[in-house]
Structure 1
């Protein structure tokens, strides 16, 4: 492919990221708009507040898959499936950032997106399975013991770049992942405030989180 055609992978990744599965699943299952209740965040944790566990699971899977598929599609089209080449590809770094920004600011849903936890996880698995499993493991451990989805997400966001450097050293992809993790932390700023003052909702709670 030419450089011009390769660069089209970035807007394509953004459009893939702009598909909000919380909104899509809720509409298909006749549930309220996820922007209208709970935290107002179109994500799996908020969808779970409806009591519909299947909808929450489908949202989680969909948001994770779009991150994974955007990265893998780019690697395949670029003919760049080797680990070393991927970690040094600035174009693939652009794809990673584009699909994540698509989730945060989706053009299909009035630029009102989620916080990016599931999508970031899918991206990490697209970059490397071991990296993805290590970061996901961090989220699961914190979520199980503390029962705060936001705290688990923050812990995973902090450790994700650390795991990357530990596994692969300093690579261009590490910069992209660091930006993703910083954006994820920024999107959780209200949750950080709630955690500090003790008003954050726990996993499965139907109580409104502001």
Structure 2
């Protein structure tokens, strides 16, 4: 029974992560498939360039919320031990499992043929519940780099690196450190085309229209 409960909650986290908010925004607002516009990503940055600021802010908020929901459900589960016969020591691992589910769900959405965004906003939502201090440090890093560079992808990559460093420096539980390292590497790999354009000097800055793919 505990394993079945754990699997159910991890699946729920994945399914919430899979909700394609950017795709839905494109359909509702302009009746377009956003995957055929701009970078082809369903993330907030491509929504900003394709649909505008209000849509992007809404998608950003919803994508972060998707990440938060799975973690909150696991926290609720362990707040009522009478519901399950599972040692409290499993809580951190369950949280991390739900976190991975949400992050992967966003970039590999069940509803979009396992396509999606780059999981940045969903990762921030996860971190805000898991460890707010790391989330705030990550946001500060993102904010600093975006101010200096005006390049969203570079700021996202810098934030991902900050997550790894902060998890270790702040001596977070081992499951959290593992999540920080693996999820950050995953986000960076998802930005590999952006990294190529950054080195080539062709990555568009904030507010600029996209010509050949960006996040």
Q: TM-score, normalised by structure 1?
A: 0.91
Matches within 5 A, 1:108-147: 108-147=111-150
Paired position in structure 1 for 2:101: 98
Aligned-CA RMSD value = 1.9
* Pairwise CA distance, 1:169: 4.2
CA displacement at 1:31 relative to structure 2: 5.0
Aligned-pair CA distance for 1:56: 0.6
Deviation at 1:76, TM superposition (A): 1.1
Residue 50 of structure 1: SS of its match in structure 2? helix
Match of 1:196 among 188, 194, 199: 199
Say if 2:68 is the partner of 1:68.
yes
Gaps of 5+ in 2: 81-87
Deviations 1:167-205 (A, max 9, x none): 234521210221111100000000000000011011111
Where does structure 1 lack aligned partners over 5 or more consecutive residues?
A: none
Deviations along 1:73-116, whole A, 9 cap, x unmatched? 21112228xxxx68962122111111111111000111111011
Structure 1 stretches (4+) deviating beyond 3 angstroms? 85-88
Q: 1:180 to 1:87 in 2, by over 3 A?
A: farther
Q: 1:86 to 1:139 in 2, by over 3 A?
A: farther
CA contact (8 A) 1:201 1:209 kept: no
Structure 1 residues 164 and 29: alpha-carbon distance in aligned structure 2, compared to 1, 3 A threshold: same
What secondary structure sits across from 1:29 in the alignment? helix
Larger CA deviation: 90-99 vs 23-32: 23-32
Secondary structure at 1:205 match in 2: coil
Q: Deviation at 1:32?
A: 2.7
Separation in structure 1 between the aligned mates of residue 163 and residue 12 of structure 2, nearest angstrom: 25
Do the aligned partners of 1:10 and 1:98 also contact (CA within 8 Å) in 2? yes
